[in-house]
């Protein structure tokens, strides 16, 4: 057990400076991620100290940042062999790299939404005079409603003594800026280049420059222009405007923001007209308030036959989230058996978008309606839809937590726990981690409501599952 409190449960992945593990914090009774530094055996003792110092600098750099789009650092501890370990929040999701390996290219609106979230996270880091220097799909994590930037392992922190020799090149070659590969001064503009290279990969399914060797790749980045992206309009303007050799000629943050916002069709700033967080439970009528205008102006939507259904689904996925909800709502009224699952998913997507805008009262409305639909679906086909219901309940409870509506959060979490317990009995390897996390959340909610006697056995059950996971 690391530092007397962190028990490793399983390996999550490997980064540029080591291995990341899922772990259990026995003192605070929660899951965390811990990053283990692995230094090549052939390095000298002096080089080993540089590696240790660099990891400690990563912890300092990330710990200075408080932003929902940046992974939170909890602690820095030393192992028995003197190696530093970083303790961070555990992100329950996949990387953008993994998503692209499955889908190759993403819809433009999704790419723009990811770009806006990354831009906000990088702007927060740059405001603290921290340059990430290794922005790439592998370092962008997707967790439900969050898009999180991680791995500040080679971040340049103004005011820190340099830990690299002159001319040393750090970063992932395919996503590095021309100034990085040339060993010149690295500024926030380098992160913006890497942001564009990451978004380019999401558009094209590959980075803007590829070559068989690092040397050839460096030459291409320094001397060639990338192939024009397949996308057009504002998203292409962002990519072309940032993948410029001279940092001084790249787009500003404000220009990037405006162009990406044009693609997503909404402002990243909270809506001044957003409804306040009401203390009464949200209803379907609340959700209708931001979609009914769309149903009035478009006329009836005929229910497609099976041949046209996939084409309609693809077309609706490219629409703004509110419009997709409006269309699927009308389709579900005409043919509920066929279109209620699509309506539930579109409500989930809308909730995700509203969450990024901090419009939590409206998120609650969308998610509560999604829960109601998945509950009906699960009653008719439990094997297929119980996992969706459990996940939807989990998202809804988290939204209620953000609104400080703890009394309403409690029964939602209790229902989610009951379903995850059933799922874990049937498929323990897949669902026990989710059950443990929900039990931990439920215990915290009970304590916030001063139900300490009820919280104790819930937390004990969570701890027992975490221990089983640690032994498996």
Which whole number is the average pLDDT over 204-211? 92
> 284-471: which CATH topology?
1.25.40
Active site residue 134: yes
- pLDDT over 80 at 209, yes or no: yes
Whether 362 and 275 have beta carbons less than 8 Å apart is answered as: yes
Q: What is the mean pLDDT of residues 254-261?
A: 94
pLDDT confidence of residue 308? 41
Domain ranges of the chain: 6-88, 94-264, 284-471
205 dihedral zone (left: phi>0; alpha: psi -120 to 50; beta): left
| φ, ψ dihedrals at 385, nearest 5° | -110, -10
Supply the pTM of this predicted model: 0.55
Beta-carbon contacts of 314 under 8 Å, excluding residues fewer than 6 positions away, are: none
* Class of domain 94-264 as given by CATH: mainly alpha
CA distance 443 to 454: 8
Q: Which is nearest to 62 in space by CA: 144, 121, 141?
A: 121
- 280-293, pLDDT tens digit by residue? 333 333 333 333 33
Predicted local confidence at residue 85, as pLDDT: 86
pLDDT tens for 18-69 read: 788 999 998 888 899 998 877 766 778 887 777 777 777 767 777 778 888 9
Of 25, 75, 81, 134, the catalytic one is 134
Residue 35, marked binder: yes
Q: For the domain bounded by 6-88, which CATH number is listed?
A: 3.30.200.20
């Amino acid at each position: 057990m690391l530092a007397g409190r962190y028990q490793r449960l399983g390996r999550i992945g490997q980064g540029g400076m080591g291995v990341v593990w899922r772990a259990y914090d026995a003192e605070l009774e929660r899951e965390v991620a811990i990053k283990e530094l692995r230094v090549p055996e052939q390095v000298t003792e002096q080089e080993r100290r540089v590696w240790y110092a660099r990891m400690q600098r990563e912890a300092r750099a990330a710990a200075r940042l408080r932003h929902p789009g940046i992974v939170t650092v909890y602690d820095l501890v030393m192992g028995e062999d003197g190696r530093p370990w970083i303790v961070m929040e555990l992100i329950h999701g996949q990387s953008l790299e993994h998503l692209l390996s499955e889908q190759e290219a993403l819809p433009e609106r999704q790419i723009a939404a990811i770009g806006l979230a990354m831009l906000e996270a990088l702007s927060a880091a740059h405001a603290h005079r921290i340059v990430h220097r290794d922005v790439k799909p592998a370092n962008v994590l997707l967790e439900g409603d969050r898009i999180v930037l991680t791995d500040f392992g080679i971040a340049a922190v103004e005011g820190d003594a340099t830990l690299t020799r002159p001319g040393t090149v750090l970063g992932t070659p395919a996503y590095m800026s021309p100034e990085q590969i040339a060993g010149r001064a690295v500024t926030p503009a380098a992160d913006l280049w890497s942001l564009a290279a990451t978004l380019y990969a999401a558009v094209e399914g590959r980075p803007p420059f590829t070559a068989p060797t690092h040397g050839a790749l460096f030459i291409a980045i320094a001397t060639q222009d990338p192939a024009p992206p397949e996308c057009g309009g504002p998203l292409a303007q962002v990519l072309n405007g940032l993948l410029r050799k001279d940092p001084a000629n790249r787009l500003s943050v404000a220009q990037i923001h405006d162009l990406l916002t044009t693609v997503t069709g909404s402002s990243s700033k909270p809506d001044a007209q957003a409804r306040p967080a009401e203390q009464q439970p949200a209803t379907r009528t609340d959700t209708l308030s931001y979609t009914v205008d769309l149903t009035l102006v478009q006329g009836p939507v005929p229910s497609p036959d099976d041949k046209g259904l996939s084409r309609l689904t693809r077309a609706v996925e490219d629409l703004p989230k509110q419009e997709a909800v409006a269309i699927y709502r009308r389709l579900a009224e005409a043919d509920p058996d066929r279109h209620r699952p699509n309506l539930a998913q579109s409500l989930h997507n809308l909730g995700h978008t509203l969450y990024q805008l901090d419009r939590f009262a409206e998120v609650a409305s969308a998610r509560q309606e999604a829960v109601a639909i998945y509950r009906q679906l699960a009653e008719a086909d439990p094997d297929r839809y119980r996992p969706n219901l459990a996940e939807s309940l989990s998202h809804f409870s988290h939204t209620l937590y953000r609104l400080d509506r703890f009394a309403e959060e409690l029964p939602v979490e209790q229902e989610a726990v009951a379903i995850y317990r059933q799922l874990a009995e049937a498929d323990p390897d897949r669902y026990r981690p989710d059950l443990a996390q929900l039990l931990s959340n439920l215990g915290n909610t009970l304590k916030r409501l001063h139900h300490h006697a009820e919280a104790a056995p819930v937390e004990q059950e969570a701890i027992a599952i975490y221990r089983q996971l640690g032994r498996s």
